[in-house]
């Protein structure tokens, strides 16, 4: 009798785990805010600061523990109607943010 095949990859594929139904929450170790001196959104944490680029700031500004990833996508598609295909980019970014421990689900 053969056993099911399992992937030997032990690294979690967090980007794949972010679905439109996921509800991201900012990790309590970070504080998200607009930093005038940096002219950008930043994530502050005890050891320092992460300066976010424009799109990353737009996405994280909508992470409130209430909105689903689909809600965030819909809001940003309405705000930037000429940006086609941003749904995959947003899900990928949320996966990266989870991998960096900036957000949890």
Residues 104 and 28: their CA atoms lie apart, in Å, by: 9
Instruction: Write the pLDDT tens digit of every residue in 77-89.
Output: 999 999 988 999 9
Instruction: Write the pLDDT tens digit of every residue in 6-20.
Output: 333 334 444 447 999
Q: Are 30 and 43 in contact (CB under 8 A)?
A: yes
pLDDT of residue 63: 98
Q: Are 83 and 3 in contact (CB under 8 A)?
A: no
Class of domain 19-104 as given by CATH: mainly alpha
pTM (2 d.p.): 0.81
Residues 105 and 90: their CA atoms lie apart, in Å, by: 15
Average pLDDT over residues 66-70: 98
Q: Delimit the domains of the chain by residue range.
A: 19-104
């Amino acid at each position: 009798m053969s056993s099911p095949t399992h992937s030997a990859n032990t690294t979690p594929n967090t980007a794949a785990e972010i679905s439109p139904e996921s509800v991201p929450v900012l990790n309590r170790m970070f504080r998200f805010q607009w930093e005038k001196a940096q002219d950008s959104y930043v994530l502050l944490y005890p050891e320092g600061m992460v300066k976010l680029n424009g799109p990353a700031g737009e996405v994280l500004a909508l992470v409130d523990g209430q909105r689903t990833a689909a809600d965030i996508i819909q809001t940003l598609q309405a705000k930037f109607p000429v940006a086609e295909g941003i749904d995959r980019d947003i899900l990928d970014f949320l996966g990266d943010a989870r991998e960096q421990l900036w957000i949890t689900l």
